[in-house]
Amino acid sequence: MTAPRIIHPQVRSVIEQPLTVGESPVWDDETGTLWFVDILASAVVRLSASGKIDRFDMPAAVGSLGLCRDHRIVVGLQTGVHLFDPASRDIEFLCDPVGREMIGRLNDGKVGPDGHFWVGSISEAKPQIEEAALYRVGADGSTRTVATRLTSSNGLAWSPDGRRMYHSDSRQCFLQAFDFDAETSSLGEGRRLRSFTEDEGRPDGATTDRDGFYWSAGVSAGRLNRISSEGEIVEIYILPVPAPTMPCFGGPDLSTLFVTSLSTDRTGRFEAGTVIAFDVDAEGLPPFRFGNQLS
């Protein structure tokens, strides 16, 4: 096994406003816009190509978002999955896959190649317990539970051919992969690809590149891990933020990595969450959009 390459990227700051828990960056390739959320501030944020920032307050904590085919935004809130219209600021309830019996909320979510919103939950019990799950949400509000016995569902991403889905559990520190069928929105059995130590970085949000590598935010280690389809860390990007939460590819040629982070005092001094960006020798894939992807 070859030792991973260590990279110190030339990082630039994208926003000035501090975030509590920055998460779920999504690049809109049609408008050149970066969307992301601030979970505990209950806000969806839009960064335009000109640098203008628009902040949309949500009625509850927001874990993740995705783009819709009708230009709305699908959001995973504490109170369920909703559809948000940035133009009118109207928000429409779609479904609540979690229910109120669980002490937790919706967490990482992403629109898949099938046009469904795949979103997981996170246990907020103290201590956390394996009561979280991963759900598949259709544009008609239908839901299906596709994985259980999770603690902190995270790390959703798909291979370039759409035939594999990646998924992690941040608290249980593992990465797994499923065979994926976009036509039927079905998963095969999950296969563990690797486990992580705290020093390697608990696996948080993630993305994939056009060459099939999986990029995982190591939230406990201030780094981004580029991982092969076999689960081997091939590159380590050392970041200036102590707690990166999720990367996404963006920019005109999808070769800029945007990375959100959360507020922490892990290093001995408080550092607010933010969004950083840097250019990489890799190219991402445009985002999928919520709706009937195959029509």
Query: Does residue 295 have a pLDDT over 60?
Result: no
| Mean pLDDT confidence for 158-182 | 96
- Which has the closest alpha carbon to 164: 211, 108, 215, 212? 212
Which tops the pLDDT comparison, 189 or 58? 58
What are the structural domains, with CATH classification, of the chain?
5-290 (2.120.10.30)
Nearest 5°: the CA angle 111, 169, 227 is 75
> What strands lie across the sheet with 53-57, from one edge to the other?
22-28, 33-38, 43-47, 53-57
- Sequence letter at residue 156: L
Q: How confident is the model at residue 61 (pLDDT cuts 50, 70, 90)?
A: very high
Contact 175, 155 (CB under 8 A): yes
The pLDDT score that the predictor gives to residue 266 is 77
Q: How confident is the model at residue 32 (pLDDT cuts 50, 70, 90)?
A: very high
Q: How confident is the model at residue 96 (pLDDT cuts 50, 70, 90)?
A: very high
- CA–CA dist 179, 163 (Å, integer): 6
The pLDDT score that the predictor gives to residue 292 is 61
| Positions marked catalytic | 204
Beta strands in 112-221 (DSSP E): 117-123, 132-137, 143-150, 153-158, 164-169, 174-181, 186-187, 191-195, 203-208, 214-218
User: What is the overall mean pLDDT for the chain?
Assistant: 94
The two tokens of residue 275 are 């969004």
Q: What is the pLDDT of residues 241-293, one digit of tens each?
A: 999 999 999 999 999 999 999 999 877 889 999 999 999 999 999 999 998 65
Q: What is the pLDDT of residues 110-153, one digit of tens each?
A: 999 999 999 999 988 888 888 899 999 999 999 999 999 999 99
Q: How confident is the model at residue 100 (pLDDT cuts 50, 70, 90)?
A: low
Q: What is the pTM of this model?
A: 0.96
Q: Is the peptide bond before 160 cis (omega within 30 degrees of 0)?
A: no
